[in-house]
Structure 1
Amino acid sequence: MSLAQKQAADGTVQLTTVRERHWKTPIVLAVATALLALLFVTVPRDGTSTFRLTAESATFALPNVALPTALTSWLMVAVLVVLTAGAFLRVYSYQKPPMWLIVVFGVIAVFAFLVWAAAGGLVPVTSLLFGAVSLSVPLVFGALGGVIGERAGVVNVAIEGQLLLGAFSAALLSSITGNPFVGLLGAMLGGVLVASVLAAFAIKYLVEQVIVGVVLNVLVTGLTGFLYGALLAPNEAQLNRPVRFDPIAIPVLSDIPIIGPVLFNQTFIGYLMFVTVGVVAWGLYRTRWGLRLRAVGEHPQAADTMGIKVNATRFWNVLLAGAVAGAGGAYFTLVSVPQFGKDMTAGLGFIALAAVIFGRWDPIRATLAALLFGFATNMQNLLSILKTPIPGEFMLMLPYVVTLLAVAGFAGQIRAPAADGKPYIKS
């Protein structure tokens, strides 16, 4: 709804309520349903799709679930049609489609696609979800760093550089000291270093923030590439053999079917991710720090009037954002790969930035968006194993296609912090 002015006969101005319909969400759902149905028509698959819910060695093992591929796929399409019709009816009645409808639609659409892809094959559900959460760790840290920075009013395009320098620092320091915790601290310091340059140019020297972020990404890519060739590669045994974090299984909880191995058999960085999400979400909306952070990002003039040092607040929070994003970079060399490699972040910083936008600059929503992109990445690997009739090139594109669809489909309905990207000059 919106307000409109109407001039009465006596010359007075009256405010009237104008109800508007926003069709973007139901249209996106309709297009997704049509594309899924088109896939099932043009490339029909028959047979049985089997889902393995738990590992065979699990304490509480569940039986496999076998479903008829064609019948189940089309039943799911029918459910998607019903949900899409419900979204259209809600908008026609001047109401927004509820969030639960969108979430249920997404889960059913993914399930229908997996049933179609797994014809005659096996989908290990626990492994799929565990891989999705693991691959999402750097994305979640990067997205949280983006949320903190942009809530403070500074566009953090340099997430990619913070992740990459964090990965390099973690590998170097963990190799030298033989301690992964030192490597993690080094990764956070690497992220802070990149963030300090961004903050100095964006806040003090008023340089265009997007340009500074892009330049920093290029600079860090070149710097780490040079140091890798000149320092790490010739001394690989001493400087590029980091000690990694081992998985820590929580007794009893890790034995819960499906979700136990996914949530309670993570490494230290995985558990740190869970804690960081909760702390940032709580702090942003429940503490004095969060109130000041949101104030300088929404209305810096009002914050200044209340005695808040706007630029100092922005500077320190951008450094905090860099430390959080740098911790995500440690995942690459202290968990995923046992050594640093050139350009190993592979553009994940930009996907993390998309998660910030898709998540409406909210820590919980941005985390869910990052998990979505991590799931798409892991599903690419699964579909290659299942030998689906989809070209391998498209499988490599899948995470980025999901990113584009997410931002294009829903970003138009959201608003960034009012002062995001706008330097503050004290009058």
Structure 2
Amino acid sequence: MTTVVEREEVVAPEDEVLAPISWKLPVIYSLATLLAIYFALNADGIAEFVWKDIRPTRDGNNLLVYADQACWILAIVVAGATAFSYFRAIKRHTQPLWLGLIVLMPLILSFLTFQGGGSGRFITLAFLFSATLTAATPLIYGSLAGVVCERVGVVNIAIEGQLLVGAFSGVVFASAFGNPWIGLIGAPIAGALIGTLLAFFSVRYAVDQIIVGVVLNVLCLGITSFLLGTVVKNNPSWNSIAYSLPVYEIPGLSKIPFIGPVFFRHTILMYILYFLIIALTIMLFRSRWGLRLRSVGEHPKAADTVGINVNRTRFLNTMLGSALAGLGGAAFTIGSNAVFTENISAGNGYIALAAMILGKWHPVGAMGAALMFGFASAIVDFLPLVATNPINPNLLAMIPYVVTILAVAGFVGKSRAPAAENIPYIKS
């Protein structure tokens, strides 16, 4: 009897393929380190930080620091975070978000200390962050509009135009009827009307959504400029700050140092925004409506097979998202105690789109990115109040747009848009 012994073939494991090292963020952090060192080398005098309230006073609670010493400490923190970033890159580890914040926040504080040192002026942190929220309000509304529309499969390039008509309708309706609440109703209706046009052409007739959005932006700019130069010019009282939204202080919460003046002394638009961020986050990922919306944006054919009316879902939610953008436009006028001027949105709709992409089509992520862009806008108005080293106003005006470009280019990484966006659904 012959026994056959089968020999197992030993297969040598294939060489593990290592991912390439990404030097993008370490290089950006290195530039931040060089900036921090520059601030430290040129800082002088004493910087006085006011953190408790918006109104600066010398009550003994302010933080006084030697500008050069503080800047050097902050530069060391930035340099340490940069070195750790290089270490993670060499080890082929991912670069966490918190590491970027460790670089960014000390760099900002270093810049403020460098500008405020020796000027004898207050660096009012509560005012700066409150102004950041105010500047970010239309951006957050616009980015939430983009999240809703793109999650359902419609690219809403028309956010810029929806912000514009919302700003116009808000102040005109409030002034014409003598009631800011009428303006608060008129703004989202105007945005929804533009959204109806977007949905009508892109969903009903399958026109390219990006082209429709760009055309609608031009249309909104033309209509608001024409009405401003004709109807409103003949009725100047229809463009008045007399009927702006009042500021409400939340009892108790508004008295908390720093937190109170930053978060709880705003118009109703801000408090609606708090609710919307929470509600949209829950509804998008924990409700039947959100499941249907996301399924239409990811796989419309599969959604259709289970009985979801794809095009109707896209149409209605495009109107909803556009209404949010219109409501955000009201922040430019009745929300900021300002009159309407031509092209008052000034590209904020496109920045809102960038915030949505940077936030990976998530309400909380979009809000965080919009706050970053809002801070860039707020710093433009804040710096002339504290700076010992004046910066050319034209350079200051560029800051929000430069930050947008750098953020999208350097920090987005691999963001995956909803699979079916900008793809018309034609039922077979």
Alignment TM-score > 0.5, same fold: yes
Q: Go from structure 1 to structure 2 and tell me whether the alpha carbon gap of 1:18 and 1:296 turns closer, same or farther (over 3 Å shift).
A: farther
Q: CA deviation at 1:253?
A: 0.8
Which amino acid in 2 is paired with 1:422?
Answer: I
1:19 deviation in Å?
4.5
With over 3 angstroms needed to count, the CA separation of the structure-2 counterparts of 1:35 and 1:301, relative to structure 1, is farther
- Listed as ranges, the matches of 1:14-413 within 5 Å are 18-20=17-19, 21-38=21-38, 40-41=40-41, 44-55=42-53, 63-121=61-119, 122-238=122-238, 240=240, 243-387=243-387, 388-413=389-414
Structure 2: distance between partners of 1:416 and 1:253 = 38
Distance 2:395 2:33 in 1: 19
Cα shift readout 1:57-77 (whole Å, capped 9, x = no counterpart): 799x77111111122112211
Cα separation, 2, equivalents of 1:177 and 1:163 = 21
2 CA distance for matches of 1:311 and 1:40?
A: 58
Which residue does 2:415 correspond to in 1? 414
CA distance in 1, matches of 2:410, 2:339: 38
C-alpha contact (below 8 Å) 1:142/1:324 kept by paired residues: yes
Change beyond 3 A, Cα 1:16–1:232: farther
Q: Tell me how far 1:105 sits from its aligned partner.
A: 2.2
Aligned residue identity for 1:133: L
For residues 269-326 of structure 1, what are the alpha-carbon distances to aligned partners after superposition, in whole Å with 9 as ceiling and x for unaligned?
A: 1111111111111111111111111111122222222222221111111100011111
CA distance in 2, matches of 1:422, 1:37: 49
Report Cα offsets for 1:165-212 as digits up to 9, x if no partner: 011111121112222121111000000011111111111211121111
Amino acid at match of 1:158: A
Assess if the C-alpha contact under 8 Å between 1:250 and 1:264 holds in 2: yes
Write the distance in 2 (CA, Å) between the matches of 1:37 and 1:153.
46
Q: Measured at CA, do residues 22 and 277 of structure 1 come closer, stay the same or move farther in structure 2, by a change above 3 Å? A: same
2:6 is matched with: none
Structure 1 distance, partners of 2:208, 2:14, is: 39
1:232–1:240 Cα contact (<8 Å) kept:
no
Letter of the structure 1 residue corresponding to residue 43 of structure 2: R
Distance 1:334 1:16 in 2: 64
The 2-side partners of 1:134 and 1:79 are apart by 30
Distance 1:214 1:16 in 2: 50
SS at 2:155 equivalent: coil
CA contact (8 A) 2:39 2:110 kept: no
> What amino acid does structure 2 have at the position aligned with 1:352?
A
Identity %: 42
Question: Structure 1 counterpart of 2:137, which letter?
Answer: V
Question: Residue 32 of structure 1: CA displacement?
Answer: 2.5
- Segments of 5+ residues of structure 1 without an aligned counterpart are 1-9
Runs of 4+ in 1 over 4 A off after TM superposition: 14-19, 38-41, 56-59, 238-242
Q: Secondary structure at the match of 1:412?
A: coil
Shift of 1:37: 3.0
Runs (5+) with no aligned partner, structure 2: 1-8
Mark the structure with the bigger radius of gyration.
Answer: 2
Q: Contact conserved, 1:163 with 1:326, CA < 8 A, in 2?
A: yes
Q: Distance in 2 between matches of 1:93 and 1:399?
A: 34
Matched positions, count: 413
What is the DSSP-based 3-state SS (H/G/I as helix, E as strand, rest coil) of the residue aligned with 2:334?
helix
Cα distance change of structure 1 residues 227 and 102 upon mapping to structure 2, 3 Å threshold? same
Residue-by-residue CA offset, 1:229-258 (whole Å, 9 max, x unaligned) = 110111112564561111111111101111
